[in-house]
Chain A
Amino acid sequence: MTTMVEHIACTFCGCVCDDIVVEVEGSRIAGVRGACVVGRGVLDEYDPEVRRPVVAGREVDWEQAVGAAAAILNEADSPLIYGLSSTAIEAQRKAVKLADRLGAIIDTTSSVCHGPTGLAMQAVGEATCTLGEVRDRADLIVFWGCNPAASHPRHFGRFSLTPAGALTPNGRADRTVVVVDVRPTGSSKQADHFLQVNAGADFEVLTALRYLARGEDVEAAAIGGIPVSQLRDLVRTMKACRYGVVFMGMGLTMSRGRHLNVGELFSLVAELNTYTRFSVIPMRGHGNVAGADQVLTWSSGYPFAVSFARGYPQFGPGEFSAVDVLARGEADAALIVASDPVAHLPRAAAEHLEHIPTILLDPTPSLTASIAQVVFPTASYGLDAAGTAYRMDNVPIPLHRLFASGRPTDEEILDRIIEAVT
């Protein structure tokens, strides 16, 4: 017998679309409606088989695995807790509690995607809005260094390009869409204007836009590969719109200038509020990376790269970010939650993980699982576990449990580890 479960949220990307219909047959997913290609893939590939935890390559029971994890953490002088962006708030809270208890360093995948965005926010602030304001009000949308057509497939349809909103009843026709990127993309094809910026020149272009917006002149024919006449037009469009929104991505955060690029953009957006209303939304990738920022901030005061080694929270991007701590060989044990750093981190960092005892909590098999000393095949939030994820605009979305699988949640395992460490 199959049941249709409606209003299910997909945690593949930061859109956290919560209008998906899933056909459930026992503890199996028989069909998915409304999801994008990627989200559907994630749901379709869900494997309901309950696997046992693994310690040093051997299957053991849960109690033994918890004991082995606790022994590793007790032994360590400088443990690292990392990942967290694809698990739920409930587990993130426990991970921070464990880090605090251990005097560990804790970092999330934020530090390798929108970490610089956080630094820019700390420097200049951030004028932002929820995605519903984008849909209902924005008549000018700028995508800067991001390509939602590939990374956030339903973004255009739900929020930013085609949907009809209160003040945008004609959908696409009521919006001017601009893409700024170093190369043409699937997103730029759908834009009204595409401005191709030279790689590494975003900062100069943004500075020029700030100058032009203030009514000052820029004495050059082109900045960063973009004719100044085009920048003038863009500024004119920005000032004349009713409500403008910039979506920005890793094209800004991970290119030359990093947080300075983002700070320049955030300053431009703030200044445009002198003329009209303007907001910016970081295009967050992982389904609950925004939530990881939130939990770490409310528990420690800082959004990522936090060390509890001195007994109290210290913030240190570059110092306490996972890539750096691992590449310098400073961590002597690692606990990874819902992430695959061996596949995604730079080589030096990934290699160090193979040399230290690593504990992994993750529903899906991964490269990290293949090197980890202890692996907990946990439940998937939004499938066989309930929880909360925060959308890229920080709106919390409940994740429902579609069926009972018998797999423990990240939260339960972390709780047991907290009990077991000394």
Chain B
Amino acid sequence: MMLGVLGGRVYDPQNGGDGEIRDIWAKDGRVVSPEEVDPDRAEIIDAAGLVVMPGGVDIHSHLVGAKVNAGRKLRPEDHRGAERARTGVFRSGSGRTVPTTHLTGYLYAEMGYTTVMEAATAPLVARHTHEELADVPILDKGAFITMGNNHFLMKCIRDGRREAARDYVAWLLGVSKGYAIKIVNPGGVENWKWGRNVGELDDEVLGFGVTPRQILETVAWINDELGLPHAPHIHGINLGRSSSARTTIEAMETLAGRRTHLCHLQFLSYGKGKGRVHSSEAAAVAEAVNANPEVTVDVGQVVFGPATTMTSDGPLQYSLHRATGSKWVNDDVEGETGGGIVPILYKRSNPINAVMWLTGMELFLLIDDPWRVFLTTDHPNAGCFTSYPHVIKLLMDRAYRLEVLESIHNRARKGALLHELDREYSLREIAIISRAGPARALGLRNKGHLGVGADADIAVYQEMDDKAEMFARPRYVFKAGELVARDGMVVADPPGRTFYVAPPYDPGIEKDIRKHFEQAYTVSFENYSLASDQVAHGEAVACR
């Protein structure tokens, strides 16, 4: 299968492209040089006057798995009126903020996204995650494995066995077919099983005598030792609290010099405001990000409207339930993690929500290097991924941003730094924060760019003044050289791949893990692992 996307204005920041007119040729799913293609036999797209970008890459989204599916089950009211009918070979689906699996694949593709990472999977239920991933068409994807409250890991840290911890993490990623280390509220989720939490990096994890700081330092070291393609993907302590900006900056200091990804940073950049309304500390947090070149972040921008919060951060979800009175799901997972779900409605007229919105915007505008700040809504926590075009408009269009700013609650608006931030993102910068940057941070060498050898994942847009409209309905979307969406509607649904890592480890560790299993788990050691043929279209990505 051959393809030529000709004469478009190409935004390919990885290869220096900033809207130059360029032809993109593809063959067998990859971008190739023109000599390799017989133009008479290729599908030719006349892209003159159109904007050409690599397919979008989402570095943090809760799209499948135990928690997401509990969220779907919890919210029939989210699906009613948000259905899509079956057409031809395309499956029906439903869900406004937590869409069903097939619909999720279609909606991402229709927006020009072709690669998406599932942000949190407990290894005990990784099999479930992969079963759902098999039902998400079109997209290439991977799953991050939660480890920040893992008993075996914490015991290794307590006993000073760093190498054992490293070998365990390598084993765990391999058997759960995960792509990266995920840390969620290190130690805090374990403490929640005692009805408590952690508030400081040096607080004790009950029953283990280790601290959040030790957990963070250890996994950052392990990540470098194993040479994993992505950094440890960290949701820190104190999410949503007024102490979060302080401990976020402390964590950056602790991890200085090591690769680190801090996810949905907006939720972790607050200070003490008046009463229950926090203040945005985006300026201080952005300054710390700017000063720590190894750090990448994604924002988790709040979008006004309905959302479904779901994290492995059990105590956070409980406090959200108490604060909002909304229905609440909690799930404590043996020896590994926990989690919760609470539906939410973000309102402009709510000062707390308004500050959250501001904080995200300010982070986007104050972090200098677009290669280190990525577009996410922490789907579906701060908003649905289908809001990305709207967020792009906020970033590219200062007048529109000020309009929204004028509409939010007084208490948040007054004195907000955002009034003074004139920056407008360029198309090139949008291509970085939604494609090139996250692909580079994930270590996916064939994603996020259109150089020779890259996957032929291509999104072609009609430039419009209204950037939300422009990005919501690409003219053409190609996945591995195949047209999958046209004018914002899916036209083909090939299966996507699942990326995972399988770092080598000292097999001696398995004896210890087996012993741990007999005491700590209710499933057999043998039944915990996923074989590579149990992952749909699995593809191992090499470690360093």
Residues of A within 8 A of B (CB): 6-7, 9, 18-19, 89, 93, 97, 100-101, 103, 118, 121-133, 135-137, 158-159, 166, 242-243, 270, 273, 276-277, 279, 293-294, 297-303, 308, 310-315, 388, 390, 394-398
Contact = CB atoms under 8 A, between A and B. Distances in A.
B306 to A, nearest CB: 15
B195 to A, nearest CB: 5
Contacts of A122: 73-76
B102 A394 contact: no
B100 A298 contact: yes
Given A97-B91, A243-B193, A313-B94, A131 B128 contact: no
Interface string B315-349: 00010010000011111111100000110000000
A9 B127 CA distance: 15
A313 B93 contact: yes
A6 B526 contact: yes
Nearest to B329: A125
B333 A100 contact: no
| Max chain A C-beta neighbours (<10 A), residue from B66, B73, B124, B125 | B73
List the 5 closest A-B pairs by CB distance, nearest first. Answer: A132-B334, A311-B85, A312-B83, A125-B327, A129-B332
Contact of A299 (B102, B194, B333): B102
B9 interface: no
Contacts of B330: 125-129, 273, 279
B334 to A, nearest CB: 3
A100 B526 contact: no
Nearest to A103: B86
A376 B388 CA distance: 48
19 contacts: A6-B526, A7-B524, A9-B527, A100-B92, A122-B75, A123-B327, A125-B341, A132-B520, A135-B334, A159-B522, A270-B321, A277-B194, A279-B330, A299-B102, A301-B78, A301-B100, A395-B124, A395-B522, A397-B523
B329 A128 contact: yes
Contacts of A310: 85
Contact of B128 (A121, A243, A308, A394): A394
B539 interface: no
Contact of A100 (B70, B91, B523): B91
B76 A130 contact: no
Interface of B: 64, 66, 69-70, 72-76, 78-80, 83-86, 91-95, 98-102, 124-125, 127-128, 131-132, 135, 192-195, 318, 321, 327-335, 341-342, 519-524, 526-527, 534
B524 A18 contact: yes
Contacts of B329: 121, 125-128
Contacts of B522: 130-132, 135, 158-159, 395
A312 B124 contact: no
Contact of A118 (B73, B80, B101, B132): B73
Nearest to A390: B128
A309 B277 CA distance: 48
Contacts of A302: 73, 76, 79, 94
Contact of A277 (B73, B83, B84, B195): B195
B101 A299 contact: yes
A273 B527 CA distance: 32
| Max chain B C-beta neighbours (<10 A), residue from A132, A159, A308, A310 | A132
Contacts of B102: 299
A299 B523 contact: no
Contact of A394 (B66, B76, B524): B66
Given A7-B527, A315-B80, 5 more contacts: A89-B131, A132-B335, A133-B193, A311-B92, A395-B522
Nearest to A398: B527
A302 B69 CA distance: 10
| Max chain B C-beta neighbours (<10 A), residue from A135, A396, A397 | A396
Contact of B520 (A136, A242, A277): A136
A297 B328 contact: no
Nearest to A20: B524
A301 B332 contact: no
Contacts of B526: 6-7
A166 B193 CA distance: 13
A396 B69 CA distance: 14
A125 B328 contact: yes
Nearest to A19: B524
Contact of A312 (B66, B85, B328, B527): B85
B210 to A, nearest CB: 16
Nearest to A6: B526
A394 B124 CA distance: 10
A89 B101 CA distance: 15
A400 to B, nearest CB: 9
B86 A308 contact: yes
Contacts of A312: 83-86, 92-94
Given A127-B328, A128-B331, A133-B334, A396 B85 contact: no
Contacts of B521: 132
A395 B125 contact: yes
A306 B99 CA distance: 16
| Max chain A C-beta neighbours (<10 A), residue from B80, B329, B332, B521 | B332
B535 to A, nearest CB: 13
Contact of A166 (B84, B101, B331, B520): B520
Contacts of B321: 125, 270
Contacts of B124: 130, 395
A310 to B, nearest CB: 7
B519 A301 contact: no
Contact of A129 (B75, B195, B331): B331
B332 A298 contact: no
A122 B72 CA distance: 9
Nearest to A163: B522
A13 B307 CA distance: 36
A93 B69 contact: no
A311 B333 CA distance: 37
Contacts of A395: 124-125, 522-523
A101 B121 CA distance: 31
Given A7-B526, A394-B128, A294 B69 contact: yes
B85 A18 contact: no
A156 to B, nearest CB: 14
Contact of A130 (B83, B84, B192, B334): B334
Contacts of B534: 398
B72 A124 contact: no
Contact of B333 (A124, A130, A276): A130
A210 B272 CA distance: 35
A270 B99 CA distance: 26
Nearest to A310: B85
A67 B327 CA distance: 47
B386 to A, nearest CB: 16
B85 A298 contact: no
Contacts of B79: 301-302, 313, 315
A186 B161 CA distance: 47
B149 to A, nearest CB: 12
| Max chain B C-beta neighbours (<10 A), residue from A298, A302, A396 | A298
A301 B73 CA distance: 6
A135 B166 CA distance: 28
Contact of A93 (B72, B78, B135): B135
Contacts of B99: 301
B446 to A, nearest CB: 29
A126 B78 CA distance: 17
Nearest to B99: A301
Nearest to A270: B328
Contacts of A19: 524
Contacts of B69: 294, 297-298
A190 to B, nearest CB: 20
B536 to A, nearest CB: 11
A312 B98 CA distance: 16
Contacts of B524: 7, 18-19
Given A125-B328, A312-B92, A395-B125, A301 B135 contact: no
Given A132-B521, A299-B135, A302-B76, A397 B527 contact: yes
A229 B356 CA distance: 48
